Amino acid sequence: MYNSLTWVEISKANLLHNVGVLRGLIGDDQILCSAVKSNAYGHGMTTVAPIMKEAGTNWFGVNSLSEAVELYECGIDAPIYIMGYIPLDELEEVVLRGFHFVVYNKETFVRLREIVTSTGEVAHTHLKLETGNNRQGVVADDLEWFIDMYKGDKGLVLEGLATHFANIEDTTDHSYALLQLEKFEKMVSSARAAGLEPNYIHCANSAATILFPKTYFNFVRAGLSNYGMWPSNETLVSSLQEGRRIEFKPVLSWKTRIAQIKRVPAGSFVGYGCTFKTTHDSLLAVLPIGYYDGYDRMLSNNSYVLIDGKRAPVRGRVAMNMTMVDVTDIPTASLEKEVTLLGVEGDEKISAEQLAQFSETINYEVTTRINDRIERRLVDS
């Protein structure tokens, strides 16, 4: 059961729009694999996935077996690709369920060979190649070992070759990303020269999908852009410099209700640590949300919410489950009145990017950290 005092609204229209934009960018022949890991970046995986499928998503990218199972069990009829590490003792279930998954460890291969031999099933693997991120990935020197394993066992299917960019959204200088792309193409060529025949070649995340068609190959893995956010200002600037006119529409709004209205005299302290002291008689509203919900403590004395289309500044520290805002100049604020923590009200807006700036992080983290226990409600517009 959800706490009815706070909820997230997911705009179906905007989600359809964004997936349509991505589909338009990559064309009809490429696979659009939409990342729905981390509860679809906080948007609610099982809420958004069916709509994304309707709008043109072909595959779904998740982080773990548990996410893959949850997605499968909500009835999604599309390939599910697991992009995170799968522990050795979960590999058999992954293979038996027919999920697609990334591989890069020798230990994983040794275990997979046992599994395909004993079950007669095939493992749908995507080999991650190290090209400069130094996160997941097989280094060039080890490639031959993996190639030999694939050639030695028909149950080990090399379905894809993949890599991941390290420095594509943090800068307008894309030389490192393009260097990675070159390394990737070389490694793909050597795998092919050795006789491997991967169906899919992929490296594009959202920023690459927006900026570099030559990264598409026949499969892209876009996450954030599905949800109507830009990977960074740098990506937006680079895209505009290229003369592209891409419009993404934010999908998520986060709402709550006023839990108390309180009049306090000038000189009153507000919240833990007495970090705020009123300079005039004030009207405060207590909101039933806090850092447990994902409203970052960095937003203490450092953000605003929207009430009736007006900004109400956060006063004092954000607590675990409560936050105070100043509504002195919003006479319509009343008990249980709706409040927008993230989203648009009239002419005013509080975006994930704005909250990210206030809390010194990125839009990805702002929406991803909205607690899973908060209801995601689908709205049409």
Where in the sequence numbering do the catalytic residues fall?
37, 272
Structure tokens belonging to residue 160: 């894809």
DSSP string, 251-290: -EEEEEE--EEEEE-TT-EESGGG-EE-SS-EEEEEES--
**Which CB, 102 or 322, lies closer to ligand PLP?**
102
Structure tokens belonging to residue 247: 């419009």
Binding track, positions 127-166, relative to ligand PLP; x by CB under 6 A: -------------------------------------x--
Does the protein bind ligand PLP through residue 318 (CB under 6 A)? no
Among 71, 76, 222, 366, binds ligand PLP (CB under 6 A): 222
Q: Residue 120, Cβ neighbours under 10 Å: how many?
A: 8
Cβ 250 to ligand PLP shortest distance, Å: 14
Structure tokens belonging to residue 310: 């007006």
Binding track, positions 54-73, relative to ligand PLP; x by CB under 6 A: --------------------
Among 108, 205, 303, 340, binds ligand PLP (CB under 6 A): 205
**Which CB, 221 or 376, lies closer to ligand PLP?**
221
Structure tokens belonging to residue 54: 């309707």
Whether 102 and 126 have beta carbons less than 8 Å apart is answered as: yes
The rounded distance, in Å, linking the Cα atoms of 90 and 108 is 10
Q: Which amino acid is at 124?
A: H
Among 55, 181, 224, 305, binds ligand PLP (CB under 6 A): 224
Whether 91 and 61 have beta carbons less than 8 Å apart is answered as: no
Place of tokens 């795998």: 191
Cβ 162 to ligand PLP shortest distance, Å: 7
Does the protein bind ligand PLP through residue 83 (CB under 6 A)? yes
Total residues contacting ligand PLP by CB under 6 A comes to 12
**Which CB, 223 or 290, lies closer to ligand PLP?**
223
**Which CB, 207 or 284, lies closer to ligand PLP?**
207
End-to-end CA distance of the chain: 25
**Which CB, 125 or 282, lies closer to ligand PLP?**
125
The rounded distance, in Å, linking the Cα atoms of 366 and 355 is 7
The rounded distance, in Å, linking the Cα atoms of 338 and 187 is 54
Does the protein bind ligand PLP through residue 363 (CB under 6 A)? no
With CB atoms as reference, the residue minimizing the distance to ligand PLP is 223
Site for ligand PLP in 28-47 (CB under 6 A): 35, 37
Does the protein bind ligand PLP through residue 206 (CB under 6 A)? yes
Among 12, 111, 221, 376, binds ligand PLP (CB under 6 A): 221
Q: How far apart, in Å, are the Cα atoms of 297 and each of 8, 128, 289, 323, 366?
A: 19, 37, 11, 10, 12
Half-sphere exposure at residue 68, Cβ-oriented, CA atoms within 13 angstroms: 26
**Which CB, 104 or 276, lies closer to ligand PLP?**
104
Cβ 44 to ligand PLP shortest distance, Å: 16
Cβ 314 to ligand PLP shortest distance, Å: 28
Cβ 348 to ligand PLP shortest distance, Å: 27
Cβ 267 to ligand PLP shortest distance, Å: 47
The rounded distance, in Å, linking the Cα atoms of 309 and 320 is 26
Cβ 328 to ligand PLP shortest distance, Å: 40
Burial class (CB in 10 A: 0-12, 13-18, 19+), 135: exposed
The rounded distance, in Å, linking the Cα atoms of 209 and 363 is 18
The residue ranges that bind ligand PLP (CB under 6 A) are 35, 37, 83, 164, 205-206, 221-225, 231
